[in-house]
Structure 1
Amino acid sequence: MDDVELPLTYTWSEARSAGARRRQVTADGRRLTRGLYLSAAAEDGLVPRCRAWTRLLPPDAAFGVGTAAVLLGAQTDPPPEVEVVLRPRPVLPQRRGLAVHARDLRSEDVTEVAGLRVSSGAQTFLDLAQRLPPAELVAVGDALLRSGHLDAAALERRLARAGRVRGVVRARECAALLSPGAMSRPESLLRYWLVSSDLPDPQVQVPVLDRRGCVVAHADLGYAEHRVAIEYEGRQHAEAAQFGRDVDRYSLMAAGGWLVLRFAGRHLTGPAVVVERTRRALLTRGWRPGS
């Protein structure tokens, strides 16, 4: 008996009803949970896996919390289990590999990404406020703003009706600190540490001008008044082409009188080094506490 053609996602009962033998299902399918398979012919990844899960979920379910953050472009790692949110009911779906959260969702709390129902950026930000420390929550919020899945008005509306939901105090405090200008998680962390310190708030994507007033570079963060720039050096800066561009950029900054502080991954474990080095740089440029 020849193997039958299977779709990219299917359940055990669907495959068997189509005439597939046990051997074919075992050989072909990547088992996501009991009775649910993603075909080996399908591209693996979060979106295909979520599409497979929709076969077992209620129609009103939306992918949420950590899963939503990834689908909305928040530059975070996928959670170990696919997370969904849905309205409260007497019995919530329970499956290995699936985490279900009851939420009183309204229509504006759900959006669509790649054909999937996903909790909105505002709802996702509020949900993540329950589990993320402030610096990481700000980084997620910045990413959601950059991706276009969050805006200040929508977030304000969602938080206004959040009542005493767990995490809402942190969400409201962090919402005031969000900026789409930070271009990566590390930049968001650096900015949060500086904003939450006793130092002046840094500007984002600060233009660096030459003597003729032309923009010759942009600093990730900085203080234009004191000509102090703060740069995060990710792995991409080690590539030959990017390294050459960085050399030119830093030379132009120095020629314009800017002091450039450069930080890397080893500095992301905590704020102490970043804040102290920035403080010392500002003091050398005339800043004084309380000024």
Structure 2
Amino acid sequence: MTRYVLPPVYTRAAADLAELTRAQRASDGVRVTRGAYVSRSVALTTASAARAALAVLPAGTVASHRTAAVLLGAPLRASWPLEFAVRPGVYRARRQRVRVHVRDLTARDEVRVAGLPVTSGPQTWLDLAARLPGAELVAVGDALYRAGHLDAAALAERLDRADGVRGVVRARQGAPLLTPLAASRPESLIRYWLVSSGLPDPVPQQPVVDRRGRTVAHADLGYEQWRIALEYEGRQHAERRQFLRDLDRYSLMAAHGWLVLRFGEDDLDRRDRVLSRVAGALRSRGARW
């Protein structure tokens, strides 16, 4: 019997060392790419799949693009192929379910997430700027801000040395729109629609104050001048405790003269409806633009 204990993420060489037969390997391991496996005893996640792939890719390879964004906590769905980056001059492997890009990365452009080498928040966001629609790009940037992987100074530094990089123009245009105050992807999407529509710009996490100047609530998005609050309600708002807290908060906001517009999941596919209703609410409060 072998004394070698096969880890949950392993290579073909490790499987051979553990004396797994071909049938055992096929039964136990989910093949990520040639020579890289994740045991069925653990969940197949972006992190475990990336860890397996990195074991058979050239030294210095880092997770990048969409794979990096998922590992950094961005609101993107995990998908194949996994994406990685190597520096110029490094062999760019061609493998099934893996896509390798060439990037001129500095030490500032690489971080570690759960022990995995990953492109930094600014680098990841710049890479995605050439690929994602504007609203989704802002949602990813907001999420990276919230998670502490992005800030204005670090992003400005990366964009300053990105002349000629694909997507840099869109990144520079979108950078001023990012905020760590957006609490979710839907809030980011709605804010982007409003800002890019010609309507007045809403304030994220808008404080609602009483007559004594005390903050009694916060709106997801709001217009203090016209006392209009915009709220996105995800599935968690249907839970009893959250529902009751929402009732109290909305009635409190109304008691202080705020008009509350509430949006849900269906509205994320109805940009024009959202804009029309916000515009109508603004006009009803005397707004002109």
What TM-score does the superposition give when structure 2 sets the normalisation length? Answer: 0.95
Alignment of 1:185-196 (within 5 A): 185-196=185-196
Alignment of 1:190-269 (within 5 A): 190-269=190-269
Question: For residue 214 of structure 2, what is the amino acid of its counterpart?
Answer: C
Match in the other structure for 1:16: 16
Question: For residue 56 of structure 1, what is the amino acid of its counterpart?
Answer: V
- SS in structure 2 of the partner of residue 75 of structure 1: coil
Alignment of 1:126-145 (within 5 A): 126-145=126-145
Report the Cα distance in structure 2 between the residues aligned to 1:183 and 1:41, rounded to whole angstroms: 34
Match in the other structure for 1:176: 176
Q: Does 1:86 align with 2:86?
A: yes
Q: Root-mean-square deviation (CA), in Å?
A: 1.6
| Preserved CA contact (<8 Å) 1:3 1:21 | no
Question: For residue 174 of structure 2, what is the amino acid of its counterpart?
Answer: C
| Preserved CA contact (<8 Å) 1:204 1:222 | yes
| Preserved CA contact (<8 Å) 1:12 1:36 | yes
Report the Cα distance in structure 2 between the residues aligned to 1:82 and 1:267, rounded to whole angstroms: 31
Report the Cα distance in structure 2 between the residues aligned to 1:176 and 1:28, rounded to whole angstroms: 48
Report the Cα distance in structure 2 between the residues aligned to 1:96 and 1:179, rounded to whole angstroms: 37
| Preserved CA contact (<8 Å) 1:220 1:231 | yes
Structure 1: runs of 5 or more not aligned = none
- SS in structure 1 of the partner of residue 10 of structure 2: strand
- SS in structure 2 of the partner of residue 176 of structure 1: helix
- SS in structure 1 of the partner of residue 269 of structure 2: coil
Match in the other structure for 2:101: 101
Q: Which moved more, 1:87-96 or 1:238-247?
A: 87-96
Q: Does 1:25 align with 2:22?
A: no
Match in the other structure for 1:64: 64
Report the Cα distance in structure 1 between the residues aligned to 2:91 and 2:3, rounded to whole angstroms: 38
Number of aligned residue pairs: 289
Report the Cα distance in structure 1 between the residues aligned to 2:276 and 2:85, rounded to whole angstroms: 42
Question: For residue 264 of structure 1, what is the amino acid of its counterpart?
Answer: G
Report the Cα distance in structure 1 between the residues aligned to 2:2 and 2:104, rounded to whole angstroms: 49
Report the Cα distance in structure 2 between the residues aligned to 1:90 and 1:110, rounded to whole angstroms: 16
Report the Cα distance in structure 2 between the residues aligned to 1:2 and 1:51, rounded to whole angstroms: 24
Go from structure 1 to structure 2 and tell me whether the alpha carbon gap of 1:20 and 1:101 turns closer, same or farther (over 3 Å shift). Answer: same
Q: How much has 1:2 moved relative to structure 2?
A: 8.6
| Preserved CA contact (<8 Å) 2:58 2:91 | no
Regions of 4+ moved over 4 Å: 1-4
Q: Deviations over 1:154-185 (max 9, x none)?
A: 11111111112111111000001111111011
Q: Does 1:274 align with 2:274?
A: yes
- SS in structure 2 of the partner of residue 272 of structure 1: helix
Report the Cα distance in structure 1 between the residues aligned to 2:256 and 2:55, rounded to whole angstroms: 60
Q: How much has 1:3 moved relative to structure 2?
A: 10
- SS in structure 2 of the partner of residue 76 of structure 1: coil
Report the Cα distance in structure 2 between the residues aligned to 1:25 and 1:187, rounded to whole angstroms: 45
Question: For residue 125 of structure 1, what is the amino acid of its counterpart?
Answer: W
Structure 2: runs of 5 or more not aligned = none
Q: Which moved more, 1:61-70 or 1:77-86?
A: 77-86
- SS in structure 1 of the partner of residue 158 of structure 2: helix
Question: For residue 273 of structure 1, what is the amino acid of its counterpart?
Answer: R
Report the Cα distance in structure 2 between the residues aligned to 1:226 and 1:198, rounded to whole angstroms: 17
What TM-score does the superposition give when structure 1 sets the normalisation length? Answer: 0.95
Q: Deviations over 1:178-207 (max 9, x none)?
A: 111110110001111111122211111011
Go from structure 1 to structure 2 and tell me whether the alpha carbon gap of 1:144 and 1:90 turns closer, same or farther (over 3 Å shift). Answer: closer
Q: How much has 1:4 moved relative to structure 2?
A: 6.8
Question: For residue 221 of structure 2, what is the amino acid of its counterpart?
Answer: L
Report the Cα distance in structure 2 between the residues aligned to 1:166 and 1:25, rounded to whole angstroms: 41
Sequence identity, in percent? 56
Question: For residue 67 of structure 1, what is the amino acid of its counterpart?
Answer: T
Q: Deviations over 1:238-269 (max 9, x none)?
A: 11111111111110011111000111111112
